[in-house]
Chain A
Amino acid sequence: MEDQLYTTTTQCQTWSFGPSTLSTLRATTNAAGVRSIKRGWKRARVEASAANTPLATTPIPSTASNTPTPAPDPASIPDPETLTPSEELTLVNYYMLRLMAMSDIFSFPSSVKATACVFLSRFHLHHSVHSYHPKHLLTTILFLATKTENNYLSTAEFCKRIPKLTPEAVLKYEFKVAGGIGWDFEIRHPLRGADGGIMELLTALGSNSADPGLQVLKEKLGQNQSRRVTDAAGRMKGYLTKEALVSDVYYHYTPPQIFLGALWLADKELAEAYIEWRFGENSLMGRPLKKKKKEKKGKEKNVEDEAAAAEASKPPALAPKLIPVVAACAEMMLKAQEYEKISVDVLKRIDKKLHRCQNPQKFLGAGSPIGIGNDAPAKKAAEEAPPPEKKRKTEEDLFGGALR
């Protein structure tokens, strides 16, 4: 039943993909972003050549006043180098780590943090960083996540904790973000299931049940079983609030699979023993403790009495199927650690490329910035306060200002 329920969620219906679909999706989004950069540059080039008539004063600073040093012919400046899909992903994941740090400033519960990360990831699945630089969206996303996770605090309160942040800046792109994630605010995290699984383990280990599977489990865990479980649980939580979010597992696996994958990384032996106990040959299939099923195919398994079950009617154990899935999930999660190791130089290079892409006016002397967040001076009655702050942000701090 629970599994069937999961299949009705937006997470399953619109946000789960096969690996190739996901990369195709990212490539398509990247292509669209690149197109918009090309369009912007083309526009800028047209404007620049129009402005380059002798009488016009070229907006290029200092050099431009006289004929001896004419502004370079806009046509001769090549289109900027655009980001590849994997560079986009690198950038998004870097900002996801920033987002986590930001969430920690507020000590938000892990559900808020995790939801914010999923929002960011989903948003950029369909919106290229070429058009939407993640640095402009972080606070908006985090604030939206506090609301959807029922952890609301006012923008005034929110802004107090982050220097130079204004409510206007937080809310400016709220509709864009909300629409960009398809208004799907409900995110199914593995966190709650993980808590339940650990509780179940601890309860079972403390009981004197005659369940043979449990005996095997106890044997495998050796001494200090409870201690071992709680230690693993701590590490597991770490994986669930970091690696699980930075990697793509949310798109490929169900929440319980992710929970087991994280447990696997935390203590492989324990995870295997647990799965064996719950879904292996001797499993009582949730008989002693009524328990959520762990996996899609959970329905097939019926609760049978030991005697009867020993005979042919016993459904095939799920563990042999489940273990490879969990292992693959764990492996995918582990890949996320590469993103933490990416050097600042690499990130700077990507951001510099992006900066050039988004600001044809700085290189062609005409045109306007591309993408959100860069439009401060151009659009709307840009009055007193906002622009200076914005400029500071984009120019001084390559990565969007000091947040801590």
Chain B
Amino acid sequence: MSATAGIPTSATLANATAIRQTLPFGNGNGNNTPLSAMAAESSGDVKQPNDDSDASDNDDPDDLNTRTKKKYTKDRKLGEGAYAVVNLGHRRATATEPAVPVAIKKIKVNTEFRDGITMDAIREVKYLRELHHPNIIALLDVFSSKNQNLCLVLEFLDSDLEMIIRDNSQTLSMGDIKSWMLMSLRGLWWCHKSFVIHRDIKPNNLLLASNGVLKLADFGLARSFADPKRHMTHQVITRWYRPPELFYGAKFYSSSVDIFSLGLVFCELMLRVPFLAGNTDLHQLELICQWLGTPTEENWPGVTTLPGYHEASGTVVKERGTDFFMNTFLAAGESGVELLMKMLRLDPRKRCTAREALDSKWFSQEPYPTLPANLPKKGGGKGIEKVGSDLKRKAGELFNTPDERGKKVARKLDFGGGG
């Protein structure tokens, strides 16, 4: 497991002039051993801050912040939304490393949120600082701009899965789909292994690097597994990918919500349109009942006790079996359909885990997953702008303009409820 990849410590990034900063935020107190500290003191080392200099106050974190900021250049704007501005940038070349492109996500000061750093930003920083995995976007640095905007320096990824799905000039083979599913599941497995639920899995949060590698992004809605008995908000996950338990207002749920979302992404990769695209929450639930089956005590013991449970209007549809899925998703083959069904079970307890999904026969059967480098790439130069807009979108939303948002997405986070 390559868990240690990802964020290089500042120590490795430190250039010659900043060599003292061996700690990531050490405000210049990098001499770790008494020996080196003493040596520096007695030899009058130039790097030792001069007591007389007023100019550089090494003890000020603003100073550290400035140093961090100076590591990057801002090139051009990729997109701007209500929530953040995303710029393409570069990490400046150092003696040992060449310049690297990065995405700088500047979180706007939200006029409605008067309480400092927003919860989305807190969550994103909190989890990305900890999660290091090849299939999870890397957070390289964090700094604040002069206007007290939070800037997240992220690994630069030039397209997303939604662009690929919508690009009708592309033909996606089953090997391609398998490859993307495999990479998504690996990233998800690592999240869940680290006790983090993503809570916003959808095609445009699955970003693609130029070498074809897929990475989970946007942890603005993520949370760790709750302590027993502590309530969790059900107002998460973009509607089209939201599992039924959340529509029923479940206060306790698990990583299986992510599995359901990813199951729907699987469908979408095959159908090339969202499988269940409801106009309202109610409509979405109807679609789930109609296409996957109506939740009942029989197929989902306990469902009727969920706080928001209501009986479905219309005829009760039995939870769909292999026949239905084989008809609809023939291309996936038997083992693929089996996996899909396990991911889309109505009862969250019956869904497979990311680990079980990874063990599916499907991945080891022909056609084998396509090598990332050989996967279809997005056409033209639109990709960069699109990803810019993905990154700046408010978590959980499908669209960028307020108009669209108002009409189609009714997500609101209830912070008070201990979400």
Contacts and interface: CB of A to CB of B under 8 A. Distances in A.
A143 B60 CA distance: 22
Interface string B1-35: 10110000100000000000001111111011110
B23 A155 contact: no
Contacts of A32: 27-29, 49, 58-59
A106 interface: no
A171 B227 contact: no
Contacts of B142: 179, 183
A175 B142 CA distance: 11
A38 B419 CA distance: 48
A14 interface: yes
B405 to A, nearest CB: 23
Contact of B65 (A1, A144, A167, A179): A179
Contacts of B129: 10, 183-186
Contacts, number: 139
A174 B118 CA distance: 11
A39 B57 contact: yes
Interface in B29-81: 29, 31-34, 37, 49, 51-54, 57-62, 64-65
A155 B116 contact: yes
B122 interface: yes
B27 A127 contact: yes
A125 to B, nearest CB: 9
A28 B38 CA distance: 10
Contact of A154 (B1, B52, B115): B115
B57 A8 contact: no
A25 B32 contact: yes
B119 interface: yes
Given A39-B52, A150-B419, A28 B29 contact: yes
Nearest to B193: A5
B223 interface: yes
A27 B52 CA distance: 20
Interface in A18-52: 20-21, 24-25, 27-29, 31-33, 35-36, 38-39, 42-43
Given A5-B194, A10-B129, A152-B119, A28 B49 contact: no
Contacts of B25: 126, 179-182
Contacts of A8: 3-4, 130, 132, 194
A43 B54 CA distance: 8
A25 B227 CA distance: 35
A74 to B, nearest CB: 16
B60 A131 contact: yes
Contacts of A171: 115-116
Contacts of B406: none
B126 A186 contact: yes
B118 to A, nearest CB: 9
Contacts of B54: 39, 43
A175 B148 contact: yes
Interface string B217-239: 00000011001000000000000
A24 B59 contact: no
A73 B318 CA distance: 93
Contact of B223 (A14, A39, A150, A179): A150
Contacts of B24: 14, 182
B52 A36 contact: no
B27 A24 contact: no
Given A8-B4, A24-B33, A39-B57, A186 B115 contact: no
A36 B61 CA distance: 13
Contact of B117 (A14, A130, A147): A147
Interface string A329-345: 00000000000000000
B418 interface: yes
A312 interface: no
Contact of A126 (B29, B49, B132): B29
Interface residues of A, number: 57
A147 B124 CA distance: 12
Interface residues of B, number: 55
Interface in A112-130: 126-128, 130
A66 interface: no
A178 interface: yes
A24 B34 contact: yes
Nearest to B68: A179
A170 B60 CA distance: 19
Main secondary structure of the interface of A (DSSP, over half): helix
A36 to B, nearest CB: 5
A39 B3 contact: no
B143 A185 contact: no
B68 to A, nearest CB: 8
Contact of B418 (A4, A28, A150, A178): A150
A69 B4 CA distance: 68
B32 to A, nearest CB: 6
A403 to B, nearest CB: 20
Given A10-B129, A151-B418, A178 B60 contact: no
B254 interface: no
A57 B23 CA distance: 47
B114 interface: yes
A175 B32 contact: no
Contacts of B51: 35, 38-39, 42
Contacts of B9: 14
Given A9-B130, A10-B129, A39-B54, A174 B116 contact: yes
B398 to A, nearest CB: 25
Nearest to B144: A175
A175 to B, nearest CB: 5
B165 to A, nearest CB: 32
B122 A148 contact: yes
Interface string B109-133: 0000011110100100111011010
A31 B126 CA distance: 31
B144 A28 contact: no
Nearest to A111: B227
Contacts of A128: 59
B29 A176 contact: no
A192 interface: yes
Interface of B: 1, 3-4, 9, 23-29, 31-34, 37, 49, 51-54, 57-62, 64-65, 114-117, 119, 122, 125-127, 129-130, 132, 142-144, 148, 150, 193-194, 223-224, 227, 415-416, 418-419
17 contacts: A4-B1, A4-B3, A5-B3, A14-B24, A24-B31, A31-B29, A31-B37, A35-B49, A38-B51, A126-B27, A130-B59, A147-B117, A155-B114, A155-B115, A167-B114, A176-B61, A186-B126
Given A33-B59, A178-B117, A179-B142, 9 more contacts: A4-B1, A24-B32, A36-B59, A148-B122, A150-B419, A171-B116, A175-B65, A175-B148, A185-B125
4 closest A-B pairs by CB: A185-B126, A182-B25, A28-B29, A171-B116
